Chains A and B, each alone.
Chain A
Amino acid sequence: MSTMIKLEHINKNFGDLHVLKDVNLEVTEGEKLVIIGPSGSGKSTTVRCMNFLETPTSGTVTIDGEVMDKKNCRRIVREKMSMVFQQFNLYPHMTVLKNLTLAPMKLHHKTKEEAEELAYHYLDVVGLREKADVYPPALSGGQQQRIAIARALCCQTPIILFDEPTSALDPETIQEVLDVMIRLAHEKNITMVVVTHEMGFARQVADQVVFMEDGRIIEEGTPEHFFTAPDSPRVKEFLGKIIR
């Protein structure tokens, strides 16, 4: 298996704030990586560095063998990566169908027919085919997030990044989104990086779990190792608080 994402010595400063401190991480093709940790630990910034929504202050990001810089990042992102956000970020002025077909048509050279076929296929995957002609603001949070996942899938990129995809949802709709993500995790060739507080999800789908605190990776390992016998006392404490 080849390396899809490689972060080497990533540092990120926001002004005086040093939010990432020498982060090193490797994700292989098809791997499901879950990043956990307290808020403010740099989890989100780490995934946002992967697609250059944040430019690292220093260090290198390598995607599928290519080192990213400010010039090539949009192309690499277009070819390799999609992202699902905490706040969904669907385009409110377009119908669900247009949200799903825009990038495939404008960026991936699909015809309207091909793009729509793809869109309906993934709408079926997330179970929302009947919402194709609706505008996003008319949907519930859970539905919007499922549409956002479908939008990411429509680009058929090998990597999908999830930045706290269930954190803005009310408890009842979290599961419908997680179900979609769990189903997605069965796809062998999709590389997933998920920042989440959903430990059940992490345990169920992760190949590798990374715990971050204060801008550093404190511990990484398989979910078995992580949830049964973590090395660091800090991880034990965190898991003790979050899993009751």
Chain B
Amino acid sequence: MSGLFSAYSWSKVWGARAGFLMGLGNTVLTAVFGILLALVLGLVFGLMGTSNKRILKAVNRVYVEFIQNTPVLLQLCFIYYALAFSGHSIGIIPAGITALGIYTGAYMSEVFRAGIQSIPKGQFEAARSQGFTYFEEMYYIILPQTMKIILPPMVNQVVNLIKNTSCLYIIGGSDLISITYSFVTGEKTGGAYGPAYILCGAVFFVICYPLSKLASTWELRLKRREAATVKTAAAKAA
């Protein structure tokens, strides 16, 4: 193990850069479409969760509770293998996108639901008193206000989804984690554990850290603005 961080092992990683880049490409591809799917599901099921129709609320609860209380690996395997063995294989990356999208969508829908419910009742009533339809009311009045509040928790879910692309390994994916693993365990490429995993981690960090930072900065700004509004309101009242 003397050569854990040796120049030789770094050069081995460098030599395999094409493979790592391909893995990164697959990870990004899965993440981007997974996020889009999660956002759509989150919005749709989040709206259901705030509905006053009992049936829609029930659908929201079943989805959220079922997905949040079973392992994502199980969901991924189910979607991939169950479909593959019934002759409807959709491929590894589409399976990953679907599973991760559905999984994160459950968390996203809770984020949307909580965000919408935090908007004062008067806003809904004002919209209704002007005669906006439900969708117009949501689109013009409620969701723009909701987005501001839910951006931080939403970005956290995006970061989680990006990291969870590593689950693709279980269905033989060629995402960044899987590529790294097969590189360090490969017959010809074996070893170079240190550099390979450090590189892999660094790439994830470079993608996820700015997102997390964005979320926390935004949250801080919102809190400051809120404090400022309360202050001016207090000053006015005084």
Separation of A170 and B237 alpha carbons in the complex (Å): 8
- Against B, the Cβ 8 Å flags (1 = close, 0 = not) of A72-90 are 0011111101110101111
Chain A nearest CB, measured from B51 CB (Å): 14
The A-B contact count (CB < 8 A) is 69
Contacts A91-B141, A137-B229, A140-B236 given; indicate if A103 touches B128 (C-beta within 8 A). no
Separation of A92 and B132 alpha carbons in the complex (Å): 17
- Against B, the Cβ 8 Å flags (1 = close, 0 = not) of A144-163 are 00000000000100000100
Separation of A88 and B125 alpha carbons in the complex (Å): 11
Task: Tell me whether B131 and A77 are in contact (CB under 8 A).
Answer: yes
Select which of B125, B140, B229 is within 8 A of A53 by beta carbon: B125
Separation of A161 and B126 alpha carbons in the complex (Å): 12
Chain B nearest CB, measured from A66 CB (Å): 14
Does A107 reach chain B (CB closer than 8 Å)? Answer: yes
**Which B residues lie within 8 Å of A229 (CB)?**
none
Does A106 reach chain B (CB closer than 8 Å)? Answer: yes
User: Which of under 10, 10 to 19, 20 to 34, or 35 or more describes the interface residues of A?
Assistant: 20 to 34
- Against A, the Cβ 8 Å flags (1 = close, 0 = not) of B223-234 are 000000100110
**Chain B: interface residue total (CB-CB under 8 A):** 22
Within 8 A of A (CB), among B115-130: 120, 122-123, 125-126, 128-130
Task: Tell me whether B229 and A83 are in contact (CB under 8 A).
Answer: no
Task: Tell me whether A106 and B132 are in contact (CB under 8 A).
Answer: yes
Separation of A137 and B236 alpha carbons in the complex (Å): 11
**Which B residues lie within 8 Å of A138 (CB)?**
232
Does B133 reach chain A (CB closer than 8 Å)? Answer: yes
Does A109 reach chain B (CB closer than 8 Å)? Answer: no
Interface centre among A81, A85, A103 (most CB of B within 10 A): A103
Could you write out 8 A-B pairs with CB less than 8 Å apart? A78-B131, A82-B130, A87-B122, A88-B122, A93-B145, A102-B140, A103-B131, A137-B232
Please report B residues at the A interface, Cβ cutoff 8 Å.
120, 122-123, 125-126, 128-133, 136, 140-141, 144-145, 148, 229, 232-233, 236-237
